[in-house]
Structure 1
Amino acid sequence: MIATHSPALPKTLILGIGNILWADEGFGVRAVEAFHRRYAVPESVTVLDGGTQGLYLVQFVREADQLLVFDAIDYGLAPGTVKIVRDDEVPKFTGAKKMSLHQTGFQEVLSAADLLGSYPRRLALVGCQPLDLEDWGGPLTVPVRAALAPALEAALAILDEWGLVVTPRPAGDDGAGLLAHDIDVASFERRAGE
């Protein structure tokens, strides 16, 4: 979903990255999906499932003044632990202890945006320590699923700090499908259980 941006407000990108086919590796995608279902954002904000798109995300990052990323990150902490990393520290964490190809790709996205002269002035990474990255086609593990709520709370606090007003969606409005083609969490987990 790409919003039309107001020139008066900084452009903000809320991005979830990861691979939903590898259990907890899908944390970033599931977090941005949950965020989109629960909250409406101003027109200056884009909410995007970046999946494993790697360098295809460069243009989105270049257009953002502020970038908030959800991702599974190996911090060496207890599974399900949410940790926030900011600004210059973000590339260090997206490149350390690589768990999958998308992390290398996202570190390259940040480098490419910087080299092209358009780099977000504010960055925040809401990362979650995974438990299982080997369960092909499996859902998020219990501790990582439990981390979704604290991750969303952390994101709301960051967005508030950045001066953005995020509002809960009215009952019955789930944001009309950030993820399509039956890869939303309910459809995906229903099919995995069949």
Structure 2
Amino acid sequence: MTILRLRGFEIHKGRLDAAAQQEIFAAVRAVVRKAPLFRPDTPYGRKMSVQMSAAGRYGWFSDRNGYRYVNEHPSGGAWPEIPPSVLKVWDQLTGLARQPECCLINYYGPEARMGLHQDKDEADFDFPVVSISLGDDGLLRIGNASRGGRTESLWLQSGDVVLMGGAARLTYHGIDRIRPGSSTLLPKGGRLNLTLRVVE
């Protein structure tokens, strides 16, 4: 395993071996059976290209009223619990007693992407965000503390884990594209990104 540092992002390349990836993927599939993937609307009325679900006390949601955390799936049911195999990654990387209250699940199909954004809907930015990549490669772009300026990019592969904390906690970042067919983990292809967040 190699640890890279880019603009404060701590990128653990190959952190999860094949068995760990399979275990987490199976757990995510169980979550999605209870809380199916959906495509939120942006506040501007356009559908996001990424499909989402969540586990934990809260899920992240977006519509014409803005971005926010909610305690129910759009169908009205509570979000499933965060799987132990996912929490294990949080515990090992952060060493924190505090547990995340949300595991946001993003599924990227062949044409999906995520524009540059900050994770700033949480109450306390002192806690890091932990990001787990599964499936096809995704091109991560990292910007700055404010919009604009030079950016840097690198490919994330299945099993990579990123820790975003400290000064990097509010750095703009996004996924420009995925590389279809670069992984066989997901039977139908695509990329899963799990982000663990302390919300309250």
Q: Normalising by structure 1, report the TM-score.
A: 0.29
Q: Normalising by structure 2, report the TM-score.
A: 0.28
Structure with a larger share of its residues in strand? 2
- Structure of greater relative contact order (alpha carbons < 8 Å, 6+ residues apart): 1
Structure with a larger share of its residues in helix? 1
